[in-house]
Structure 1
Amino acid sequence: MAGLKQRYSGIAILLHWALALLLLFQLGLGWALEDLPKSSLFVAFQFHKSVGILILVLSLARLLTRLFVARPPAEGAPALKLLASAVHWGLYGVMILGPITGWIIVSTARVKLPTLLFGTIPLPHLPLGSAWNEPAEAIHGLIGWLLAGLFVLHVAGALRHHLLRDDVIGRMMPAALSRRPALSIAVVVALAACVAAFFAGSWRYKGHAEAPTPSQPLPTPGSTPELPAAPAPTPEASASPAPTPTPTPSASPTDAATPVRSWKVAPGGTLAFRTVYSGEPINGRFARWTADIQFSPDDLAHSKIAVDIDLASVSSGDSERDDTLKGDDFFGVAAHPKARFTATRIRKQGNGYVADGTLALAGAANPMPVRFTLQIDGDHAQASGTATVKRLAFGVGKGQWSDPGTIPDAIAVTFRFAADAK
């Protein structure tokens, strides 16, 4: 039995190497997060949280193994044994404190994004106040550097023992690899695997295509031809939807029986939406959109409307939430940069109109009526209206976002703009 204590247990060996690879992967991913494309940032951040909690669980298991399972005695001079012990306990500290501070950051963020570990297991938020957020962020960032330093010291100490032909690394290897020259080959393979894990974390999400920036031309989804160019309306600075006026449609005597005319949207219009997230109201808008309008109140049969919306221009008052909306779980702007509404059937209803059309959004197309009111004064018109988008029919809000109890299925859309006859 005494001979068995000269080697680490099988569970200790498994946890040691699993944690080594996970920690280096996590370190690489954590340092790469700030440079990742916005289109993949949310997914990478979610994966970073999942790996962090896995490291926390395995680290606690490794700590229990160290405390309660027999292990080989430490070797070397007293000063070196003290240094080795300090490095080991430092590693336990960062392995456990790192995920916990990350959990605190997520739980106390201004926008509390839900976490599904590896897309499956919901992680609850810790019941802590917002005052914990900044200290946790500072400690979390420091832990990354501390982990890197401790890791280098740990590897340097292990290699020193190996070069001095001490059997320290061999005790942490499977029995079949615990004797030279197999041990030397295993050491090289282990070091290569650690380096590969770090770079895998750094580069895992960098291959994702970045969403088009405002300066890039946005292709029209599918095979729908491009709209005629029109100046993009500039929304008002407020992120809240503009109040919807309720003018009644009217036409001056000179507009009677007018044929269908093309209308050019003037700058200053708004295209906004309103929803609720976990009871918190969210007001958003789209900064860039264009419209091709062919309309006459006297010839609705030949009137038609088409609107293109640049989804990357979404703004909800929080940059992290905006990045989430642009990601694959919501709009998926990398694959579908535009939403498009088209209507060729416009009918009178009460004091306004209804445009029965189709909305193409996030790779899906569904019927959607848009109600609007209109005032025409010669060559100038004022329009405002509303619509309801059933987001789940378009696959907007996947996974943890698909619960209508968290985010309602029905999203209210409002718009207001002026236009001049061409």
Structure 2
Amino acid sequence: MGGDPVRRRYSGLAIALHWAIALLLAFQISLGWRLEDLPKGPIGFAAFQFHKSVGIAILLLTVVRVGVRLLARRPAPVKAAPALRLLAGLVHIGLYAVMLLGPITGWILVSTAKVRMQTMLFSTVPWPNLPVGPAWHEPAELLHGALAWLGVGLFVLHVGGALHHHMLRDDVVGRMIPARTWKGLTAGLLIGLVGIGGALVWAKAMHFGAAPLVTQPAVAASEQAPVEQASELAEAAIAQPSAEASEQPGEEGAVPWTVEKGGKLGFSVDYSGSPVNGSFAKWNAAIRFSPDDLPNSSIKATIDLASVGTGDSERDDMLRGDSFFAVAAHPKATFTANGFKPAGPGRYTASGTLSLNGKARPVRLDFTLALSGDTARAKGTASLKRTAFDVGTGEFASTDALADAVSVNFAFSARRQP
């Protein structure tokens, strides 16, 4: 038992990973049980999304923990009866299996669901689905549930083993607590147990409201145009000019415009006889325009498809998923148009190309423009077929319930750049 105590302890990284995973695992198991009692809709969906995010976090941290365990120097095994050492080894192996297979089976469940919804890690990072078939769903579901109960049992055995060693006054617990508590093992153990208990309680008490809607209000829903065009319209309409566009040679009349805050982009699609309205919140675009130089006027717009919002977080995640926008594979939609045409007093047409979901199709943008000095007020619509871009697959490929056409409309103010 002699020698430098640091040499008999785990590395700082191993200790940090151990306690981070322990707290997340306790939280995850408790939240998993709570999901069964939560109501369906925005609250239940938000909780489910958080459950998925925590699961992926556990998976990633466990992979790092396994690497540290294999590569970093570890303390020597504790002297104990062969049966106890065997039991301790089996518990550790079982815990690693739970920490790896639990998230993986959950990942398979999400990837093989009838309606695939895009997983957004902590509502921020798109996470792809696994390339597995529907035959994996039922086995994964059974194993996922069994692993939860196995995890509880192993968790209890692991904590019981730590308490057993602590009562024997050996240094096993001290090897896995921060150095500052090296000579205060009881305090360190109590802090760990309180933290785990707190994680269990937090999962039961955590509030899950509807996911915040980051959208701009829709403009008149009566103007119809399909969803995918909404992207392009949105971007063209609420775009910010880029340096690249402003430096194009040979465009003496068309000048760049800066879109001001408060622009609106909305879309509407008919589902089973009722309109579903939504919008996109994030665009980046370059606009050059002059009514006296329409041939050199242009739009180059990009839309972040993950920013879609319809007021229902479950539906929004479905739109981000593989069945619709597939944002994991194609996170952006782009619309480009070079050269506008007059369509009457104050009215114009821009014929361009929309790239969405790996498909590029021609799309026409119709808009009106009211100029007053260096300020312009634009309103417009567009129209396209969602099926032309393979938006809506599987049970949504049919247009019986979900219409093929999606209406899009926008309105914005812009200021001419110096």
Please, what TM-score do these two structures have when normalized by structure 2? 0.51
What 5-or-longer segments of structure 1 have no aligned partner?
Answer: 210-272, 276-282, 287-323, 332-388, 391-403, 413-422
2:89 counterpart of 1:85: yes
**Cα distance, 1:5 vs structure 2:** 2.9
The verdict on how the C-alpha distance between 1:329 and 1:145 changes in structure 2, with shifts beyond 3 A counting, is closer
**Mapped partners of 1:35, 1:85: distance in 2:** 35
Deviations along 1:179-214, one digit per CA (max 9) or x if unpaired, are 1xx2212211211110110121122136x59xxxxx
Deviations along 1:254-286, one digit per CA (max 9) or x if unpaired, are xxxxxxxxxxxxxxxxxxx966xxxxxxx5356
Aligned to 2:119: 115
SS of structure 2 residue aligned to 1:202? helix
2:272 counterpart of 1:284: yes
SS of structure 2 residue aligned to 1:35? coil
**Mapped partners of 2:88, 2:12: distance in 1:** 22
Query: Could you tell me whether the CA contact under 8 Å between 2:27 and 2:199 is conserved in 1?
Result: yes
Aligned to 2:21: 19
Deviations along 1:158-181, one digit per CA (max 9) or x if unpaired, are 0000011011111101111011xx
The verdict on how the C-alpha distance between 1:67 and 1:122 changes in structure 2, with shifts beyond 3 A counting, is same
How many pairs were matched up?
Answer: 237
**Cα distance, 1:405 vs structure 2:** 8.3
What 5-or-longer segments of structure 2 have no aligned partner?
Answer: 211-267, 275-308, 317-380, 383-388, 393-402, 408-418
The verdict on how the C-alpha distance between 1:26 and 1:409 changes in structure 2, with shifts beyond 3 A counting, is farther
**Mapped partners of 2:180, 2:4: distance in 1:** 19
**Mapped partners of 1:69, 1:327: distance in 2:** 47
**Mapped partners of 1:92, 1:33: distance in 2:** 24
What pairs with 1:121-136 in structure 2 (closer than 5 Å)? Answer: 121-136=125-140
Deviations along 1:376-400, one digit per CA (max 9) or x if unpaired, are xxxxxxxxxxxxx99xxxxxxxxxx
The one of 56, 72, 75 equivalent to 2:75 is 72
**Mapped partners of 1:9, 1:330: distance in 2:** 45
2:29 counterpart of 1:41: no
Aligned to 2:193: 191
**Mapped partners of 1:3, 1:183: distance in 2:** 13
Query: Could you tell me whether the CA contact under 8 Å between 2:269 and 2:405 is conserved in 1?
Result: no
The verdict on how the C-alpha distance between 1:405 and 1:129 changes in structure 2, with shifts beyond 3 A counting, is closer
The one of 116, 140, 145 equivalent to 1:141 is 145
The verdict on how the C-alpha distance between 1:29 and 1:410 changes in structure 2, with shifts beyond 3 A counting, is farther
Deviations along 1:26-68, one digit per CA (max 9) or x if unpaired, are 1111111111132301111111111111100000111111111
* Structure 1 stretch displaced more, 94-103 or 183-192: 183-192
Show structure 1 runs of 4+ deviating over 2 A: 1-5, 283-286, 324-331, 404-412
Query: Could you tell me whether the CA contact under 8 Å between 1:25 and 1:200 is conserved in 2?
Result: yes
Deviations along 1:105-142, one digit per CA (max 9) or x if unpaired, are 00000000111111221111111111100110110011
What pairs with 1:47-62 in structure 2 (closer than 5 Å)? Answer: 47-62=50-65
The verdict on how the C-alpha distance between 1:176 and 1:102 changes in structure 2, with shifts beyond 3 A counting, is same
What pairs with 1:2-401 in structure 2 (closer than 5 Å)? Answer: 3-38=5-40, 39-75=42-78, 76-179=80-183, 182-205=184-207, 208=209, 283-284=271-272, 327-328=312-313
Task: Give, as a single letter, the amino acid of the residue that structure 2 aligns with 1:153.
Answer: L
Query: Could you tell me whether the CA contact under 8 Å between 1:274 and 1:284 is conserved in 2?
Result: no
Query: Could you tell me whether the CA contact under 8 Å between 2:45 and 2:314 is conserved in 1?
Result: no
Query: Could you tell me whether the CA contact under 8 Å between 2:110 and 2:129 is conserved in 1?
Result: yes
**Cα distance, 1:72 vs structure 2:** 0.9
**Cα distance, 1:411 vs structure 2:** 4.2
**Mapped partners of 2:311, 2:137: distance in 1:** 25
Q: Pairwise CA RMSD of aligned residues?
A: 3.3
SS of structure 1 residue aligned to 2:272? strand
The verdict on how the C-alpha distance between 1:285 and 1:141 changes in structure 2, with shifts beyond 3 A counting, is farther
Query: Could you tell me whether the CA contact under 8 Å between 2:31 and 2:203 is conserved in 1?
Result: yes
Structure showing greater Rg:
1
Query: Could you tell me whether the CA contact under 8 Å between 2:23 and 2:195 is conserved in 1?
Result: yes
SS of structure 2 residue aligned to 1:36? coil
Query: Could you tell me whether the CA contact under 8 Å between 1:33 and 1:41 is conserved in 2?
Result: yes
**Mapped partners of 1:409, 1:110: distance in 2:** 21
The verdict on how the C-alpha distance between 1:82 and 1:41 changes in structure 2, with shifts beyond 3 A counting, is same
Aligned to 1:355: none
**Mapped partners of 2:91, 2:172: distance in 1:** 15
The verdict on how the C-alpha distance between 1:84 and 1:50 changes in structure 2, with shifts beyond 3 A counting, is same
* Seq. identity, %: 51
